[in-house]
Structure 1
Amino acid sequence: MDNNKQIYNYTVLLEKELDGDYHAFCSILKGCHSQGDSFEEAIDNITEGIELYLESLRADNQSIPREDLITIILGFH
Structure 2
Amino acid sequence: MLTFKIEKDGAEFHAWCPELVGCHTHGETVGKALDNLKDAVQLYLDTMKEEEIAKLSAEMLVEA
Give the TM-score normalised by the residue count of structure 1. 0.65
Q: Structure 1: where are the runs of 5+ without partners?
A: 1-8, 63-77
Q: Structure 2: where are the runs of 5+ without partners?
A: 54-64
Give the TM-score normalised by the residue count of structure 2. 0.77
Matches within 5 A, 1:1-77: 9-19=1-11, 21-61=12-52
Identity rate, percent: 32
**Backbone CA RMSD of aligned residues:** 1.2
Report which of the two has the higher share of strand: 2
Report which of the two has the higher share of helix: 2
* Structure possessing the higher radius of gyration over alpha carbons: 2
User: Which 4+ stretches in 1 moved above 2 angstroms?
Assistant: none
